[in-house]
Structure formats: structure tokens, C-alpha cells
Structure 1
Amino acid sequence: MSSYMTVCASHAPGLDRDAAGVLGQDFRAAMARVRRSVAEFDPELVVVFGGDHRRAFAHVVPTFGVVLHGTLRAEGGAAGGPLPVPEPLVRRLAESIIDRGFDLAVARGVALDHAFGQPLRLLLPEAATVPVVPIAVNCASPPLPAPGRVHEFGRVVGEVLEPLDRRILLIGTGGLSHAPPSLLDERHDKTEEERRAQLEAGFELASRLVKPGWDMAFLRAMEKWDVETLLAMAEHATREAGVGANEVRTWIAAGAAGGTDPFSTVGYEPVSEWITGMGITVRGGW
């Protein structure tokens, strides 16, 4: 039987760009504590539930998908490179998920951005060769999956991982409250230059849209593993906490995959310069 450690954490491109580590000191310290716990847990497999920012999946957007082979994009000062995806294992897992009623997309040769790369860089040693299973959850391109369906999907992923008999690190990445200017419209053909221009033009407003009250309420619900509240908050995330808050769907999926025990909040910090409420919460191995 597999054992799990689950880490759900915000990501932000600004964190990578701030190479000197000036901003987000509380969040960075919390992440460092979790990184040490991950090292003690010593995972044999990492499963990342991540969203996409209309890069890897722009014109055709899977509701749920697994990556058979792909790379990480170089961005924000962070190097890119290949992902150590165990293709035969991922194929078997995908077949098992499909057998349980989810029509799963399978992606090949995609370049994933900081939604996947940042948590891997922050939580694992620099030279880590732990196999990684990237699982995409549509959090940015409406229509989005219903939160209840996301929860059920995560539960099914946990079922197919259970017989592997490995130490598995589950990661949910994204959120909490934020409204990235590049996602305020539904264009799917933007260049990176257009994205940067939108961010610069909308940065001042976006920096004022972090919602600490909403973020803390979501973290408290994670601490109780109050699924009803989590699903309700995710359902209304755009209206109450910005389009980027939809990424908490990855937290719900990762949490459902790893069981039903409550989480422990390790840190929270609203970082207006990153236009994001930065939180991290952990279950198991803590």
C-alpha cells in the first residue's frame, strides 16, 4: 500500500524573478520547512496536480490530462529542461483512471510552465531524479470542471496509486487569491510579449486584489478537510478571489487523492508584489 505526503502551495512567477529573495520572506521560510519534511519523507514518486496558463494547452484544453513526456519551460530566471516522467507507469495509471470513468486526455511533447516547475524546484533537491507524474487540471480556460468532479477525479487518482506500494508526494499547485491580467480575457493566442504587456498594464490593480480573508477561510477549511466548504469556495472563486483562485482545484484534487485527514497550514503571506496570496498547507510527513 502506498503512503502519501500531500503539499498544497501557491505559485507565483514573481518568486522566481526575485532571485535575491527580498520578498515573501514568511512564505519562503514556510516552504523551506516543508522542503526539509519532504526530504525526510524521501518520496519515490511525485504526482503534481497543476493548472496551465494557456501555454501548454491553448487551443485544445483538456479538463483532466496526464503528460506522458514533456519539458519544463525556462522562465523567470529558472532553467527549463526535461521532466523525469516514467512513461510506462503513467500509461498504466491513465488506463486505470479511464477504466474508472474519467475520459482522460494524454499529452506528449508539451512544455509546462511554473505551475509545475516552481513547486518541483522548491520542494525537491536540485539534482533530484524522482519520477514525476504531471496531471493537468483545467483552471484557466472556461468552462472549468465542477469542483465536485475535481474532487472525485482526485479520489480516483488516489485509488490507482494505492497499489503501487511507494512513498508518494502529492502536490497541488496554484492559488490562492489572485487575478492575473493575462487571464482576465479568454484569448488563447497571446505571445509572451503580449502577456508581459498585459501584466505591466494591469499590475497596479492586480496588486490590490489579493484577498487575505478568503485565503485564510480556504486554509481553515483545508485544516478540517471540510470538503463541502472547499467545493463551495472553489465554485465561486472567480467572483470572490479572482480568476487565479480557480487553481485551488488542484488543491482539492491532491487532497482527495491522499485521503481524508486534515491539513496543517505551515505559512501564509499576501505578497502584493507577486499579486498573489501565498499559502502552503501539508498533510502527512509533517
Structure 2
Amino acid sequence: MSLALVTMSHSPLLEFNDPPAEVKAEVDAAFAQARSFVQDYDPTLVVAFAPDHYNGFFHDLMPPFCIGFEALGVGDYGTAEGPLDVPAELAERLAQHVIDRDLDVAISRRMEIDHGAVQPLEILLGGIDTVPTVPVFVNGVAKPFTSMRRVRLLGEAVGSFLATLDERVLVIGSGGLSHDPPVPQWATADAPARKLLLDGRHPTAAARDARQQRVIEAGRAFAAGTATMRDLNPEWDRALMKTLASGDLTAIDTMDPEKMAADAGNSAHEVRTWVAAFAALGAAGRYAVDTRYYRPIREYIAGFGVMTARTV
């Protein structure tokens, strides 16, 4: 048994909006470094903590956590569409293990996942079905939010299960860091937006394209300084990355959801995937961070970070 980790920002704008050439080269280098880390580790199993952006999970039923026994990429923003290679029996045992530790986790035998889960699999592994993968959804977009302590406990429960396996397990945390893209909020959404938030599954190609184009244009306006989105918060991002690297995650327990949004944007809640991933790694033993990259990138509407780590 061994565990390794990659946490990384994702962005639907990676293939649509280009930052300055030197910034893009930095991001490409960080991804290449993480890819090399994964190739050297040669995982036999992946557990991917990821959020959703109202492509698979909606307000008709929004669990704080969900483990997929089967999963399908929806193909948004040009990411892969189709089934993941999910080891269903192992996913079922993982869910039971988590539930036995008094964490009520939902399960799905038809989980639909978007770029938030798919993009890291494509970047790090070359596809969504190259390594057996168990997807774990962590709500990072819809109130009410469970406590950060509960997120840490979820990660620890998952990690304690993974530590019993005769596998080389790669844990992925996908999302964040600080960012506030134009995702509708239920409290302020108009009737058409609420319809999408309630159940916007399987939109027409034209509807998906229109929605995606709005985000692409918002990224360009943000980069140009003409958008009204909350700014990125590099200080907040770097402080969180430092805490995660320290191995002591207890300080995260007191992070307040409202303050997180105020300080780092409504979608900063995606860092819950990073917390769960690092907690899973820590449950398997002491760990050390191998590589760390960070830069605020307005073209991607993201405080953009990549970290790799492994148990020691």
C-alpha cells in the first residue's frame, strides 16, 4: 500500500482563454511536472475528489458528498464524454467504510461528472478510463455547506480505507483556489437561472454552447479589468496551501463558509476537495510535499495552484 496526491486547480477556460505566453508556459510546466510525478508513481487506483458546476448535481437533490459506483463524463468545454472505469465493488466497500464511521455519504450508480472531475484525469492520466477511478463528489457550489471539519473527516475516512488496500493509490483533489466565476446563486437567481439550478441536466448543444460562451466572455472581461467579479486572493490561497503542506489540518476545521466566500469568492468552496484529498493522504501516514506551483491567473478566473505529495 502507498498513497500519492495531486491537488490542482481546474478551469473550463484552459483551452479557450490564453494568459500571457510566459504564464501559460508556467502552467504547462506545472502540469508536466505533476504528470511526471504520476507516471513515476504508476498508480493502480485513483480516488478523485471533485466538485460539480450544475452539470451533474442540482438543487433537486444536492448531497454534501457522493461516491460514484458508476460515472459518466458529460463532455462540457470539450472534455471527454463517456464512462469512467469505476471499480464498482471497491467503490461500494469504500462507501460502506465511510458510512460505518458515522459519515452519511450519498451513492450514485449513474454519477454524471463535468470538467471539474474530468480535466485532471485527462491532464494527469491521458484520459478518463486509463486507470480505475472512484469519483467522490464534494459539494462546492450550493448552500447550505457542511463544515470544513466534516470535509476533513470525510477525507480521513476515505484514507483509512485506502490504507488497507494492496494498491498504489493516487488521490486527486480538483478545484479552487480563490475564484468567483459567474455561477448563479439560488438566492439571487432569476426564474430561468433557477430552472437550470434545479434540474439543468442534458441541455441541448445550443444551450450548452451559449452557457459556456458566457463564461468564456466573462473570463476575457475579468482579464481586461472590466468585469465585476470578486477579485482573486493570492494571500488566502498561499496560506491554505501552506496549511495543507504542514500535515496539520486541524486549523481548517474553523474555516467559516460565509467568510470563505467573502474572502476568496463563492467558488472558493471547491478547496474542500483539496482538504479531503490531503486528509485522505494524512490518514495513511506522514506525508511530504514534492512540488508546489501557484499563480493568480485572471484569464482562467482562478487562483491557480498545483501540489504533489506522497506518504513517507
Give the structure-2-normalised TM-score.
0.83
Q: Indicate yes or no: 2:4 matched with 1:5.
A: yes
- Contact (CA 8 Å) 2:174, 2:274: kept in 1 or not? yes
Mind listing any 5+ residue stretches in structure 2 that lack a counterpart? Answer: 188-193, 201-206
Q: 2:208 aligns with which of 182, 189, 192?
A: 192
Question: Could you say which residue in structure 2 is the equivalent of 1:64?
Answer: 65
Question: Could you say which residue in structure 2 is the equivalent of 1:115?
Answer: 116
* Partner Cα distance (1:36, 1:128) in 2: 19
Question: Could you say which residue in structure 1 is the equivalent of 2:31?
Answer: 31
* Partner Cα distance (2:162, 2:123) in 1: 24
Shift of 1:125: 3.1
Q: 1:239 aligns with which of 241, 262, 268?
A: 262
Shift of 1:231: 3.7
Post-superposition Cα deviations, 1:83-137, rounded to whole Å, max 9, x if no partner, equal 1111111112112211221222111223200111000011113486210000011
Q: How many residues align?
A: 285
Post-superposition Cα deviations, 1:5-35, rounded to whole Å, max 9, x if no partner, equal 0111111001133599956321221111110
Post-superposition Cα deviations, 1:210-246, rounded to whole Å, max 9, x if no partner, equal 1112111112222213413434456432110001111
Query: For 1:137-286, what aligned pairs fall within 5 Å after superposition?
Result: 137-185=138-186, 187=194, 188-189=197-198, 192=208, 195-196=211-212, 199=215, 200=217, 203-204=221-222, 205=227, 209-233=231-255, 235=257, 236-259=259-282, 260-284=286-310
- What is the SS of the residue equivalent to 1:164? coil
Question: Structure 1's 222 and 234: CA in aligned 2 closer, same or farther, altered over 3 A?
Answer: farther
Which of 1 and 2 has greater Rg? Answer: 2
Query: For 1:14-29, what aligned pairs fall within 5 Å after superposition?
Result: 14-17=13-16, 24-29=24-29
Q: Say what the alpha-carbon RMSD is for the aligned residues.
A: 2.6
Question: Structure 1's 201 and 215: CA in aligned 2 closer, same or farther, altered over 3 A?
Answer: closer
- Contact (CA 8 Å) 1:138, 1:144: kept in 2 or not? yes
- What is the SS of the residue equivalent to 1:89? helix
- Supply the AA of the counterpart residue of 1:6: L
Question: Could you say which residue in structure 2 is the equivalent of 1:45?
Answer: 45
Shift of 1:41: 0.3
Question: Structure 1's 256 and 73: CA in aligned 2 closer, same or farther, altered over 3 A?
Answer: same
Question: Structure 1's 197 and 14: CA in aligned 2 closer, same or farther, altered over 3 A?
Answer: closer
- Supply the AA of the counterpart residue of 1:192: R
* Partner Cα distance (1:181, 1:20) in 2: 19
Question: Could you say which residue in structure 1 is the equivalent of 2:88?
Answer: 87
* Partner Cα distance (1:4, 1:49) in 2: 14
Post-superposition Cα deviations, 1:31-89, rounded to whole Å, max 9, x if no partner, equal 11110110010000000011111221102011111111121121222331211111111
Post-superposition Cα deviations, 1:155-204, rounded to whole Å, max 9, x if no partner, equal 01111112111100000110001001114445314563674475346853
* Partner Cα distance (1:94, 1:275) in 2: 34
- Contact (CA 8 Å) 2:249, 2:279: kept in 1 or not? no
Mind listing any 5+ residue stretches in structure 1 that lack a counterpart? Answer: none
- Contact (CA 8 Å) 2:230, 2:265: kept in 1 or not? no
Question: Could you say which residue in structure 1 is the equivalent of 2:98?
Answer: 97
Shift of 1:269: 1.7
- Contact (CA 8 Å) 1:159, 1:257: kept in 2 or not? yes
Give the structure-1-normalised TM-score.
0.90
* Partner Cα distance (2:256, 2:25) in 1: 27
* Partner Cα distance (2:290, 2:256) in 1: 19
- Contact (CA 8 Å) 2:50, 2:137: kept in 1 or not? yes
Question: Structure 1's 153 and 282: CA in aligned 2 closer, same or farther, altered over 3 A?
Answer: same
Select between 69-78 and 136-145 the one with higher mean Cα deviation: 69-78
- Contact (CA 8 Å) 1:222, 1:263: kept in 2 or not? no
